[in-house]
């Protein structure tokens, strides 16, 4: 049976900042939700474009060319190859959409790298 | 420069029910917004999974196995091959995500078939 997924309900199961959880899959991509607070790291994805949609709060994505600010109800798409660093001053909830192959830290593999689990 | 897209603002440019407009592209998929009211037609997509996220209102997706009701803040994914018929009793605003190859009427080609334009 096809399920209906409530984004706010799923977010109640997220307990760790910067650790996305999978909430859906389609066409070789995952939909994920995450809670963000503080600074992430500079990284890029070689082949995957990445969607950031802000459900609550505000996300700044630092780019080498300048900052992009995503407010609640807005999204931005970071094309593959573009270096970016997400920063959330306050607790921010996002929906992510990206190919299943996407690693959260892109081409970097370090202590911020996590494997997403299904929520 | 990477743009921030506001979903509500984009929806103000949608003037016709059941005529999705493109608001973003990533990884060979389009993000679209649409205003729905009334009944669509039974159809399926041979190869494309389709995401329906309700931004306002309520969408019922009739399936051969029963109905799925998607409320505001919720989404459902209709896997390829699954026959479905979207129905919105009241005016409903949705975000769609599907491969660029997806036709709104699936394998059907009739008077309800439309080409999405960029908003």
Q: Which residue in chain A has the smallest CA separation from B55?
A: A73
**Residue B111 covered by a domain:** no
Residue B48: list chain A partners with CB under 8 A.
27
What is the DSSP pairing of strand A29-39 with strand A21-26?
A: antiparallel
Give the separation between CA B4 and CA A74, rounded to whole angstroms. Answer: 6
CB contact under 8 A, B74 and A24: no
Percent residues over pLDDT 90 in chain B: 92
Residue A48: list chain B partners with CB under 8 A.
27
Give the separation between CA B54 and CA B71, rounded to whole angstroms. Answer: 6
Q: How confident is the model at residue A48 (pLDDT cuts 50, 70, 90)?
A: very high
Using CB atoms within 10 Å of the CB of residue A117, give its burial: 0 to 12 exposed, 13 to 18 middle, 19+ buried: exposed
Is B76 within 8 Å of chain A by CB?
A: yes
**Residue B107 covered by a domain:** no
**Which pLDDT score is estimated for A1?**
82
Using CB atoms within 10 Å of the CB of residue A118, give its burial: 0 to 12 exposed, 13 to 18 middle, 19+ buried: exposed
Report chain B's mean pLDDT, rounded to a whole number.
96
| Helix, strand, coil share (%) of chain B residues, nearest 5 | 5, 50, 45
β-bridge mates for residue A67, sequence order: A62
Least confident of A54-58, B61-65, B97-101: B97-101
ipTM summary value: 0.94
Residue B50: list chain A partners with CB under 8 A.
26
**Residue A118 covered by a domain:** no
**Residue B62 covered by a domain:** yes
Question: Residue A51: helix, strand or coil by DSSP?
Answer: strand
Which CATH number characterizes residue A30's domain?
2.60.120.10
Percent residues over pLDDT 90 in chain A: 92
Note down the domain range covering B27. 7-100
Is A115 within 8 Å of chain B by CB?
A: no
How many structural domains compose chain A?
Answer: 1
**Residue B43 covered by a domain:** yes
Least confident of A60-69, A76-85, B104-113: B104-113
**Residue B1 covered by a domain:** no
**Residue B95 covered by a domain:** yes
Question: Residue B58: helix, strand or coil by DSSP?
Answer: strand
Q: How far is A63 from chain B (nearest CA, A)?
A: 9
Q: How many CB pairs under 8 A join A and B?
A: 96
**Residue B105 covered by a domain:** no
For the entire predicted model, the pTM comes to 0.95
């Amino acid at each position: 049976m096809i399920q209906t997924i409530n984004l706010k309900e799923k977010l109640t199961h997220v307990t760790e900042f910067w650790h996305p959880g999978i909430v859906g899959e389609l066409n070789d991509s995952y939909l994920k939700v995450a809670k963000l607070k503080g600074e992430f790291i500079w990284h890029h994805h070689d082949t995957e474009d990445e969607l950031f949609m802000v459900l609550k709060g505000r996300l700044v994505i630092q780019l080498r060319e300048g900052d992009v600010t995503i407010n609640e109800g807005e999204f931005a798409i970071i094309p593959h190859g573009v270096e970016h660093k997400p920063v959330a001053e306050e607790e921010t909830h996002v929906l992510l959409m990206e190919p299943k192959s996407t690693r959260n830290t892109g081409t970097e593999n370090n202590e911020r790298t996590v494997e997403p689990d299904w929520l």
